[in-house]
Chains A and B, each alone.
Chain A
Amino acid sequence: MITPELDRRFRDAAAATGLLDAAFDVVSDTPIGDLLVGVTDHGVCRIHFDPEPERELESLARRFGPRVLRASKPVDRVRRQLDEYFAGRRQAFELDWDIRLLPEYNRRVLTQLARVEYGTTVTYGTLAKLTGNAAAARAVGTVMNRNPIPIVLPCHRVVGANGKLTGYAGGLDRKELLLKLEGAL
């Protein structure tokens, strides 16, 4: 039997080689459930609700390359900041993100989204305007829906024109919980 120590030793060594296309780990027991966190050399590349690791790691492998391995060390920094965020002790994440592979438009919208501050909300229309096309509210909605790094890129802070909570890829309950945690509701 491979002991847990040997398993961890191999995973740490593999991460230390710098050869992994992506490392991932599950951050469990957050107020919004278990989260799968993916990290590349460029930064955090994925946060996924209700992780079914099998399926998600195939999608990581398709996007970043086949050398995808669960390893806790590369994810430690993200894990710590998420813990602080959920404990109400952190309002801004100090993390690099890896959104290299997304279309230019998505990157532009997500970069704008990252400037929406803790405890505030913005409408899809406003975010569209800030990204250069006021009529693109629907396209902005699509970008939010496909946001690969929710929470860190705070798509939960984007609401409908009347302030109503509209869709959230992780479910409206989670969106509401995050906004309450931030004191925005």
Chain B
Amino acid sequence: MIPPFETFYATYGEEVFRYLRSRLGGERAEDAFQETFLRALRAYDRLEHAEHLRAWILTIASRIAIDDVRRRRPHDELDVDAVRHEDARPAFEELAPLTDGLPPKERAAVVLRYGYGLDYEEIGGALGSNGSAARQAASAGVRRLRRERA
């Protein structure tokens, strides 16, 4: 059963806020926080199962942060060294701005894999696909980042 929205909000609220603050700073994080959970509320009754709720809400937050960053700083420089090696997992704050130019599925897969260390099954669940599709999206994303950098 999908938990009551109150429980979901109480469980992930602080983590989402910390993430948004690290990406956007205090004041903008507050607006993004509200937007993140309102967007989740809008989609909440269409969820089919309660797995991967964490990955789901962090994906929403990351999209909103990316939109916010893009709106304010359209000419970010790319530095993909951070995502070259799977072992050298960069902090999510460093990784996310690099992925701004990726198509949404690839961006989400790269961020969730390398920024959050979720496994491909979890990512597939969060993105409404499956493990192998998530793996493909993540590696396509990394290839694209390398090409853009070259």
Give A contacts to B, CB under 8 Å.
Answer: 1-2, 6-7, 9-10, 13-14, 17, 19-21, 53-54, 57-58, 60-62, 65-70
Q: Does B91 contact A (CB under 8 A)?
A: no
Q: Do B37 and A66 have beta carbons less than 8 Å apart?
A: no
Q: A7-B13, A14-B38, A67-B5 are in contact. List 6 more A-B contacts (CB 8 A).
A: A1-B17, A17-B41, A53-B6, A61-B5, A66-B2, A67-B45
On B, residues with C-beta under 8 Å from A are 1-7, 9, 13-14, 17, 30, 33-34, 37-38, 41-42, 44-45, 47
Asked if residues A69 and B6 are in contact (CB atoms below 8 Å), the reply is: yes
The interface centre, meaning the residue of B4, B9, B30, B33 with most chain A CB atoms within 10 A of its CB, is B4
Known A-B contacts A21-B45, A66-B45, A67-B41; the reply to A6 vs B9 at CB < 8 A is no
Specify which of B3, B6, B34 lies most central, judged by the most chain A CB atoms within 10 Å of its CB: B6
Check A14–B4 contact: CB distance below 8 A: no
Known contacts A2-B33, A17-B38; A70/B6 CB under 8 A: yes
B-chain residues with CB within 8 Å of residue A65 when the two chains form the complex: 45
Asked whether B34 lies within 8 Å of A66 as measured between CB atoms, the reply is: no
A13-B2 Cα distance, complex, nearest whole Å:
22
User: Which of chain B's residues has its CB closest to A3's CB?
Assistant: B30
Residues of chain B within 8 A (CB-CB) of A20 are: 5, 41
Which A residues touch B47, using CB under 8 A? 66
CA distance A62 to B2 in the complex (A): 10
Interface SS of chain B: helix, strand, loop or mixed? Answer: helix
Chosen A-B contacts, 30 in total, with CB atoms closer than 8 Å, are: A2-B13, A6-B17, A6-B30, A10-B34, A10-B37, A10-B38, A14-B38, A17-B38, A17-B42, A19-B42, A20-B5, A21-B45, A57-B4, A57-B6, A58-B4, A60-B4, A61-B2, A61-B3, A61-B4, A62-B1, A65-B45, A66-B3, A66-B4, A66-B5, A67-B41, A68-B4, A69-B4, A69-B5, A69-B6, A70-B6
Report how far A19 CA is from B7 CA in the complex, Å.
Answer: 16
**B residues less than 8 Å from A7 (CB atoms):** 13
Partner of A2, one of B3, B14, B44: B14
